Amino acid sequence: MTTGQVDRAPAGAPAPVTARRRITVRGVVQGVGFRPFVHALATELGLAGHVTNTGEGVLAEVEGPPAALAAFGARIAGEAPPLAVVDAVEGEDLAATGDTGFRILPSHGQGPSRTLVAPDAATCDACLAELADPADRRHRHPFITCTHCGPRFTIVTALPYDRARTTMDRFPMCPRCAREYADPADRRFHAQPIACHDCGPRLRLLLADPADPTAAPRPAPDPAPVAATRQLLAAGAIVAVKGLGGYHLVCDATDDTAVALLRRRKARGDKPFALMARHIDDVAHLVRIRPAERALLTGPQRPVVLLRRSPHPAPPAPDAPVPSSAVAPGSPDLGVMLPYTPLHHLLLGLPDAPHGPRLLVMTSGNIAGEPIVTDDEEAVRRLAGLADAWLTHDRQIRVPCDDSVVRVTDDGEPLFVRRSRGYAPFPVPLPVPVRPALAAGGDLKNVLCLAEGRRAWLSAHIGDMDDLATQLAFERAEAHLETVTGVRPQLLAADRHPGYRSGQWAQRHTDGRPLVRVQHHHAHIAAGMAEHGLDGSRPVIGVAFDGTGYGDDQAVWGGEILLADYDGYRRFGRLAYVPLPGGDTAVRRPYRMALAHLRAAGIDWAADLPPVAACPPDERRLLARQLERDLNCVPTSSMGRLFDAVSSLAGICHRAGYEAQAALALEAAALTAGEDPAPGYAFALHTGTDAPADRAAADTVADPAPLLTAVVADLRAGTAPALIAARFHTAVAGLVRRWCALARERAGLTTVVLTGGVFANTLLAEAAARLLGQDGFTVLRHRRVPPNDGGLALGQIVVAARTAPVHGGVGVP
């Protein structure tokens, strides 16, 4: 197999006047206009033959002069359509048949599916020009698309990719669309979602009963649903809008009352909302936009990009939109995306449209903790009481697909917080071959993974598995991913936590297949190794910091240094254990975690300390008794919980209404601190404190007691919380540096993987990477999958399903 070229005829063979070649192209080559491209290329070169979709990709047979065949082979990969990704091109000689003309043949799906389905893509410039052109027959058509843009993954029902195997199969083409579909010179030649006003999906606006929000909604009397929806939004309504991968709940982002109402109805707490802006200039006065961020905002994937707020924003233009302060309270970032469907562009207003909102809140159409809604009847039922109206349509969404969320680090590289729409199901290449396998991921931010050979297909974001609706969504996503990848798992992998619903699902669905349990932080590190192409022949220093992961000693791990390869790991370092009083209660109330850490450090619960004041007296007395008697106090080494504790201790956040709120608030405060001439804080690093025979023993233990003592001293000296937050971040980065230096000294390792949800904190991640780089380490950070549990399944699959394990010397299976 070769990449980007076809193999040549043997040297010295006589050149025939006419030759014939069979060309197989693999990669993302279906649903992206590849067959029309091949047709046009062959026609230009005067070649005869045909092209078709197969389960393997695209297969073409071309016949003509050898020079033309050579040109065809040289150009087929390099000039491919913009959404295509050519992985490999294979060619073989055939006997010439005297063929004439070039045809696109019907697809055939014999054999296993091995082609790659394209992710959904934002509306292209050519379609946008037609959308805005009053003279074009698709003027203001909300489903305008072509071979270069529009839905793909979310409408595919089977492979090969043809209209009959998508949710567009119920919309017969009108004569004009059929002519465009069959015209090799047309941009919509074999564009499977092709439609127009005459034959495509239809929009419909439904209105809730203001007197009884639970009553069945009624159709809006207005025959122009988009215009009516814009009027509703401008009047402060909340509208459920059906998109590519599910429903959004939408309101005018500049309307304080509407944003507050949406936040209250959705039980959102203070968790930030995402914004959709009509144009990038509509947010330029609010945030810093660097070239890499601009490219993400305007590219075909169109994720939500987390943009840092401008520290000194320029005065906005008189007509510049200003979002409500309730959009992202306390957050140093604004999550921004640009329109990616024709309907979005229509809602935000074309040039000839009446005035309307230019900034919209776009949040997943669900109740907090549930999966995004895709079914129309379900949307009416589950979003009743949340939405005042529903802007829906009759094209089915085959698979849910939430918006992706990305931030750009200081080195210009992307860091995924959520990898979903625009990226799923594009595979991650694997550095080692794996047998056909399914990894169930974790219970938070669940993403599953199918893999075979050297490819791993990650699903779209599914959600938190504590809800029955999410578990059902998991099952549907798994079945759909098997359909579009052709992978039939022979092995399953899951987290070791016995209570994880993802693991319980895997256990119930083994059907005689082996189930491999993979330790949580080992999977995080393996994911980082795999996406950077490491074959596992040499261990790495894995720095795995997160909120929770089931440890080998049944403790809650989360502040771990593992010397790891794919075969196993050795626990080189950990944070000192402290009690986690009340489990999830301590997560929701960071002051409890602060009090537990203070007690472990031998620091009195003095009344002047913020977490002491934040904890009600009765709860404080019960908590003291609970800690004294070790009741429901599982030990934890979690770095995430230490972030929570310091956030409360500094007086920044005592109650968390959403995951990682306290840690995010601590990071936000640190970003405002400015220069700090003081030496900062430090952990005590002890060696040899664990029993060496214990499987969960660590060579070194980091004790935060000296750090916490210094924080208390700073508080009593009147030091600003922002400065305390900054000093804490510096101390954690310094601890990573010391730990890695010690690991290099003892084990001779020089490659570090930074992983786990804590490293979504770019202030910490960049400080740690900078220090390690100064010390000569090779530092690997996540670029293809999130550092949080959204990337966990990738690591599980490589650890569990390698066909030929490479022993790197860690010696712990």
Task: State the DSSP string of 693-736.
Answer: TSTT--SEEEE-HHHHHHHHHHHHTT--HHHHHHHHHHHHHHHH
Query: With left for phi above 0 and alpha for psi between -120 and 50, is residue 442 left, alpha or beta?
Result: beta
Sign of CA dihedral 94, 100, 104, 107: negative
Mean of pLDDT values over 436-463? 96
CA-based nearest residue to 338, from 393, 274, 394: 274
The mean predicted confidence, pLDDT, of the chain is: 92
On the question of pLDDT at 5 being above 70, the answer is no
CA-based nearest residue to 521, from 657, 698, 370: 698
pLDDT digits (tens, 9 = 90+) for 239-255: 999 999 999 999 999 99
Q: Using DSSP, state whether 473 is helix, strand or coil.
A: helix
**Residue 479: which H helix or E strand, with range?**
helix 468-485
- What does the alpha-carbon distance between residue 59 and residue 92 come to, in Å, rounded to a whole number? 11
Mean of pLDDT values over 29-50? 91
**Tokens read off for 380:** 């009416």
Give the pLDDT band of residue 674 (cuts 50, 70, 90): confident
On the question of pLDDT at 735 being above 70, the answer is yes
- What does the alpha-carbon distance between residue 403 and residue 362 come to, in Å, rounded to a whole number? 10
The CA radius of gyration of the chain, in Å to the nearest whole number, is 28
Terminal CA-CA length for the chain: 35
pLDDT digits (tens, 9 = 90+) for 341-396: 999 999 999 987 888 899 999 999 988 778 899 999 999 999 999 999 999 999 99
On the question of pLDDT at 669 being above 50, the answer is yes
- What does the alpha-carbon distance between residue 335 and residue 271 come to, in Å, rounded to a whole number? 11
Cis peptide leading into residue 160 (ω within 30°): yes
Transcribe 84-130 into DSSP letters: -EEEEEEEEEE------SEEEPPP---S---S-BPPPBPPPHHHHHH
Burial grade of 181 (CB within 10 A; 0-12, 13-18, 19 or more): middle
Q: Is 383 in contact with 373 (CB distance < 8 Å)?
A: yes
pLDDT of residue 461: 95
Burial grade of 79 (CB within 10 A; 0-12, 13-18, 19 or more): exposed
- What does the alpha-carbon distance between residue 218 and residue 557 come to, in Å, rounded to a whole number? 52
**Tokens read off for 379:** 């949307």
- What does the alpha-carbon distance between residue 810 and residue 94 come to, in Å, rounded to a whole number? 51
pLDDT of residue 811: 44
> Could you tell me which residues come within 8 angstroms of residue 168 by beta carbon, excluding any fewer than 6 positions away?
155, 192, 193, 195, 395
- For 644, phi then psi, to 5°, come to -60, -45
pLDDT of residue 696: 74
Give the pLDDT band of residue 107 (cuts 50, 70, 90): confident
On the question of pLDDT at 657 being above 60, the answer is yes
Farthest-apart Cα atoms in the chain, separation? 94
Mean of pLDDT values over 90-112? 84
On the question of pLDDT at 813 being above 90, the answer is no
pLDDT of residue 1: 36
Better pLDDT: 687 or 416:
416
Mean of pLDDT values over 452-456? 95
> Could you tell me which residues come within 8 angstroms of residue 633 by beta carbon, excluding any fewer than 6 positions away?
579, 580, 581, 582, 596, 626, 627
* Residue type for position 179: R
**Residue 44: which H helix or E strand, with range?**
helix 34-44
Give the chain's length: 813
Mean of pLDDT values over 276-289? 94
On the question of pLDDT at 692 being above 50, the answer is no
pLDDT of residue 13: 55
- What does the alpha-carbon distance between residue 772 and residue 770 come to, in Å, rounded to a whole number? 6
pLDDT of residue 629: 93
Instruction: Please give the DSSP secondary-structure letter assigned to residue 151.
Output: -
Q: Using DSSP, state whether 632 is helix, strand or coil.
A: coil
Using a pLDDT cut of 70, give the percent of the chain over it.
95
Query: pTM for this one?
Result: 0.92
- For 741, phi then psi, to 5°, come to -60, -40
- What does the alpha-carbon distance between residue 203 and residue 225 come to, in Å, rounded to a whole number? 7
pLDDT of residue 715: 97
Give the pLDDT band of residue 689 (cuts 50, 70, 90): low
Q: What are the distances in angstroms from CA 545 to CA 486, 557, 680, 757?
A: 35, 9, 21, 7
Better pLDDT: 41 or 13:
41
- What does the alpha-carbon distance between residue 735 and residue 626 come to, in Å, rounded to a whole number? 31
**Tokens read off for 234:** 């401008």
- What does the alpha-carbon distance between residue 145 and residue 134 come to, in Å, rounded to a whole number? 17
Where would I find the beta strands (DSSP E) of 145-208? 203-207
